[in-house]
Amino acid sequence: MNDAELDAIADAVVRRLKRNPARLPDGGLRVVSGGEKGGTGACAAPLPAAPAGPRPDGVGRPLEDLSWRGPKPQLAAWTPAAGPRRVADFVDHTLLKAEATRADILKLCGEAREHRFAAVCVNPVWVELCARELAGTGVAVASVCGFPLGATPSTVKAMEAAEAAARGATEVDMVAAIGHLRGGEWAYVEDDIRAVVEAAPRALVKVILETAVLASEEIVKASAVAKLAGAHFVKTSTGFHAAGGATTEAVRLMRLTVGDDLGVKAAGGVRDCATALAMIGAGASRIGTSSGVAFVGCLGPAPLSLAELLAKPEEHAAACKTGTCAVAAPGGVQAY
């Protein structure tokens, strides 16, 4: 895909949002220098198709069907037509701090096992322990590569992904080549992602875009490139960048770009139920957070009508059962 085609995709997404104000991200759209394109009245460019070839087993399954867990990639996206869901089904229970100990990781796994979260997300050194602790539970083990800067050679990212998969990871959260992305070197970004996808062919690959440092058009283009490269999810943030974490604006743009073929993960700063529900309402199918236990304590372990909850997520904080889910986390750039 060349630069002109990527520009056309970005134009199409931005113009579709503007034609439907109800889907316009809060605060409007940020544009790159040079202003908006697409004012000529040309037809909107179609969004890119997924790579040719057989598609993984998870494609097209309703959101309620969780049989994709484990080595089979899940590509069925969040949809407003989905029925009652457990909030735990959205949670990637995350602990990526450097100072995390074995005891901390065992506690994380115990909580994930108890609440049946979608996955745990840990640094590579802990993958084997998590895989052993969570065997047979249905909870996926996610690791990271190129983390947290993305400024690692593609060959190294690929080796990290392959090693994590060999040790038992069924999901890999990779950081895209952010500098190349910002510089418009899209061929490099695509090849970088594809190297990880091919190195861990049975793993679900999520591509972290670090959306807080990107303009709207860059979010759209990066999401489209991730889809073309064979990734299974796009993800907002590492949670370690000083610029910030997930926003509903970024999630909406990512969802509109990738459609129903890929998952969208919101991560970084999602610490309370109201924020989590807003992200789900914007199109997130996973939430990366260390607050999943609080979410379950607040919203309960049973399936809930998300249609009702998502109508007014901002009102949820006042009705929080635990009184803790809306409490801001202490300072620092670690936003999980």
**pLDDT, tens digit, 9 for 90 and up, residues 45-58:** 333 343 443 333 33
Of all residues in the chain, the percent with pLDDT exceeding 90 is 60
- Least-confidence region, from 72-76, 282-286, 318-322: 72-76
The catalytically annotated residue of 89, 92, 173, 272 is 173
C-alpha to C-alpha distance for 175 and 303, rounded to whole angstroms: 32
Q: What is the mean pLDDT of residues 56-71?
A: 34
Alpha helices in 57-207 (DSSP H): 102-115, 127-133, 154-166, 178-182, 186-199
Under a CB-based contact definition with an 8 Å cutoff, are residues 117 and 67 in contact? Answer: no
**pLDDT, tens digit, 9 for 90 and up, residues 79-118:** 444 578 889 999 999 999 999 999 999 999 999 999 999 9
Q: What is the mean pLDDT of residues 226-234?
A: 97
Q: By three-state DSSP, how is residue 14 classified?
A: helix
**pLDDT, tens digit, 9 for 90 and up, residues 111-125:** 999 999 999 999 999
- Give the pTM: 0.80
Domains, the chain, ordered by start: 3-12+78-319 (3.20.20.70)
The catalytically annotated residue of 157, 206, 221, 235 is 235
- Which residue in the block uniquely carries the two structure tokens 């931005």? 14
Active site residue 235: yes
**pLDDT, tens digit, 9 for 90 and up, residues 143-166:** 999 999 999 999 999 999 999 999
What was the pLDDT predicted at 299?
A: 86
Cα dist from 28 to 11, 21, 161, 314, whole Å: 15, 10, 36, 19
C-alpha to C-alpha distance for 295 and 85, rounded to whole angstroms: 13
Strands (E), the chain: 91-95, 119-122, 140-145, 171-175, 204-208, 233-235, 263-267, 286-289
Burial classification of residue 99, based on how many CB atoms lie within 10 Å of its CB (0-12 exposed, 13-18 middle, 19 or more buried): exposed
